C-alpha cells in the first residue's frame, strides 16, 4: 500500500507544509510528481539529550484533565482516566494505516527520493481545556533543492475533542480540533488588539489600506494575508496559532505565531503580542495557571522548559514506479 499526501498527516496538528509562504518549495522540486510513498520506519527520539536529561518534562492537571509531557509523547487523560489525546499513537497510526513498512536497509538515506519527515513539539501553555503547542515541521528529500521547515503554534480544545467524539487515529481529525481566539474572546476585542499591533499596522500601510477599516477579524485576516517581509508572513489560520503568555491584572497576554515569509528565513517564528480582557469562562483557569496551581503559562514554560522537545521522525521513500520525469 502506498501513502497518499493526505493520509500521512493529521489535519489538526500536522498539516502538510503549505506552499503559500515558500515552505513547500522542497516538495515542488522533489523528484516525484505523484506523492506515492512507502514508510520505512517511525520513531520518537530526543533532539538534544543534554537539554533533556530526564524522561518527563512536565506533569500537571488542568480543566479536569491530566497532562503528561515526556520526550516520548504528549498525552492527556480525562477525569475518568480515559486517554483522550496521544500525539505519538495518532501519528504512528496515521503512518501505519497509510503505508506498508519495509526494512530500513531497503532504501539508503542517500537514495534518490528518500525522505525524512520530522515534527518537533513543545508544550507552550495549558489553560483549562486549551492546550497550545509549538510545532516545527521539517521535511528533507534526497534530490530536493533544500529542506522545508515550518514553525507555528497550534491551540487545541480538549473539551471540544471529547464533546464531538473524536479519538486519536479517528480519520483526519484524529488528534483534536484547533480552536481560534475568536472562539474564546469577543471578535471586536481581538480585532481592536490586532489593529493596535505594529506589525499589523505596517502590513496595512504596505497594501495602502489605511482607509480600509475591517469590521471583523475575518475581514482583517483576509486583508493582511501574505506580505513582503522575509522574516514573517500573515497566514489565513493565524488566529489558531496562539498561546497564553501571562496575566496582567484583568487582561491576558497572548502570543500569536507567524511563520516565515521567504525561504531564506524558513523555520523562523515571529510573535505578535496582544492583551485581551479575560472572559468569565477563562478567568478561573487563567488565575490558576498564573499562580502555578493548575495548568501552565508560556512565560514559565519558556523559562523552565525551553530545551525540552518531543521529536517524531518518519522515514519513507518515494516509489520509483510512480515517478514521472521532472
Residue with cell 494575508: 225
User: To 5 degrees, how large is the angle CA 81–CA 87–CA 88?
Assistant: 105
Range of the domain at 250: 11-322
CA 133 to mean position of chain CA atoms: 6
In contact, 21 and 235? CB cutoff 8 Å? yes
Task: State the pLDDT at residue 173.
Answer: 39
pLDDT at 114 over 50: yes
Secondary structure of 264-282 in the HEC alphabet? HHCCCCEEEEEEEECCHHH
In this predicted structure, what is the pLDDT of residue 178?
A: 84
pLDDT digits over 192-218, tens only? Answer: 999 999 999 999 988 876 667 899 999
Whether 6 maps to a domain, the answer reads no
Quick check: 317 pLDDT over 80? no
Contact in structure between 172 and 155 (CB atoms under 8 Å) = no
- Residue 188, number of CB atoms within 10 A of its CB: 12
Q: What is the pLDDT of residue 38?
A: 52
- Is residue 129 scored above 80 in pLDDT? yes
Q: 274 CB contacts (<8 Å, ≥6 apart)? A: 190, 193, 194, 196, 197, 253, 254, 256
In the chain, the percentage of residues whose pLDDT exceeds 70 is 68
Q: In terms of C-beta density within 10 A (0-12 exposed, 13-18 middle, 19 or more buried), how is residue 233 classed?
A: buried
Is residue 220 within 8 A of residue 238, CB to CB? The reply is no
20 pLDDT tier (thresholds 50, 70, 90): very low
Number of domains composing the chain: 1
In a domain, 3, yes or no: no
SS3 for 214?
coil
Q: From the CA atom positions of the chain, what is the Rg in Å?
A: 20
Mean pLDDT of the chain: 75
Packing angle, helices 217-224 and 198-206, rounded to 10: 60
Give the pLDDT of residue 44.
56
Q: Residue 210 and residue 204: Cα distance in Å, rounded?
A: 6
Tell me, yes or no, whether 45 lies in a domain.
Answer: yes
Query: How many Å separate Cα 232 from the centre of its chain?
Result: 16
The position carrying cell 522575509 is 230
Residue 185: φ, ψ to 5° = -125, 150
31-85 pLDDT per residue, tens: 222 334 455 555 555 444 444 446 899 999 999 999 999 988 999 999 999 888 8
Domain contains 4: no
What average pLDDT does range 107-128 have in this prediction?
Answer: 76
For the cut 60, the answer to whether the pLDDT of residue 159 exceeds it is yes
> Given this model, what pLDDT does residue 83 score?
86
Q: Which residue, chain included where needed, has cell 480519520? A: 171
Q: Is residue 214 in some structural domain? A: yes
User: How many C-beta atoms lie closer than 10 Å to residue 80's C-beta?
Assistant: 7
167 is a domain residue: yes
Q: Please, are residues 289 and 299 in contact by the beta-carbon 8 Å criterion?
A: no
Burial class for 203, CB neighbours closer than 10 Å (0-12, 13-18, 19+): buried
- Whether residue 165 is contained in a domain is answered as yes
Examine residue 161 and state whether it is found in any structural domain, yes or no.
yes
In a 10 Å sphere around its CB, with 0-12 CB exposed, 13-18 middle and 19+ buried, how is residue 161 labelled? buried
What's the grid cell of residue 29? 522540486
pLDDT for the residue 162: 59
Model pTM? 0.77
Instruction: Indicate the range of 4-8, 174-178, 292-296, 299-303 predicted with least confidence.
Output: 4-8
With both helix axes pointing from N to C terminus, report the angle between 217-224 and 187-195 in degrees, rounded to the nearest 10: 40
Amino acid at each position: 500500500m502506498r501513502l497518499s499526501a493526505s493520509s500521512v498527516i493529521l489535519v489538526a496538528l500536522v498539516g502538510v507544509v503549505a506552499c503559500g509562504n515558500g515552505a513547500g518549495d522542497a516538495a515542488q522540486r522533489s523528484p516525484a510528481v505523484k506523492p506515492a510513498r512507502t514508510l520505512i520506519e517511525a520513531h520518537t527520539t530526543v533532539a538534544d539529550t543534554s537539554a533533556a536529561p530526564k524522561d518527563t518534562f512536565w506533569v500537571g492537571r488542568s480543566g479536569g484533565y491530566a497532562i503528561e509531557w515526556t520526550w516520548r509523547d504528549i498525552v492527556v487523560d480525562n477525569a475518568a482516566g480515559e486517554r483522550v489525546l496521544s500525539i505519538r499513537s495518532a501519528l504512528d497510526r496515521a503512518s501505519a494505516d497509510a503505508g506498508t513498512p519495509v526494512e530500513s536497509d531497503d532504501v539508503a538515506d542517500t537514495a534518490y527520493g528518500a525522505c525524512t519527515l520530522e515534527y518537533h513539539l513543545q508544550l507552550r501553555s495549558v489553560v483549562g481545556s486549551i492546550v497550545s503547542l509549538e510545532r516545527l515541521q521539517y521535511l528533507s528529500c534526497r534530490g530536493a533543492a533544500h529542506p522545508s521547515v515550518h514553525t507555528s503554534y497550534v491551540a487545541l480544545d480538549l473539551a471540544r475533542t471529547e464533546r464531538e467524539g473524536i479519538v486519536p487515529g479517528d480519520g483526519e481529525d484524529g488528534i483534536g480540533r484547533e480552536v481560534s481566539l475568536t472562539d474564546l474572546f469577543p471578535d471586536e476585542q481581538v480585532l481592536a488588539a490586532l489593529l493596535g499591533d505594529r506589525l499589523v499596522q505596517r502590513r496595512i500601510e504596505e497594501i495602502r489600506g489605511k482607509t480600509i477599516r475591517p469590521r471583523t477579524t475575518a475581514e482583517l485576516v483576509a486583508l493582511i494575508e501574505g506580505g513582503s517581509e522575509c522574516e514573517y508572513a500573515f497566514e489565513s489560520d493565524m488566529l489558531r496559532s496562539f498561546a497564553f503568555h501571562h496575566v496582567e491584572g484583568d487582561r491576558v497576554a497572548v502570543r500569536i505565531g507567524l511563520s516565515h515569509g521567504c525561504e531564506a528565513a524558513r523555520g523562523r517564528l515571529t510573535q505578535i503580542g496582544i492583551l485581551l480582557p479575560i472572559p468569565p469562562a477563562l478567568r478561573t483557569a487563567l488565575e490558576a495557571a498564573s499562580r502555578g496551581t493548575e495548568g501552565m503559562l508560556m512565560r514559565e514554560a519558556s523559562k523552565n522548559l525551553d530545551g525540552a522537545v518531543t521529536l517524531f521522525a518518519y522515514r519513507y521513500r518515494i516509489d520509483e514506479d510512480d515517478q514521472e520525469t521532472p
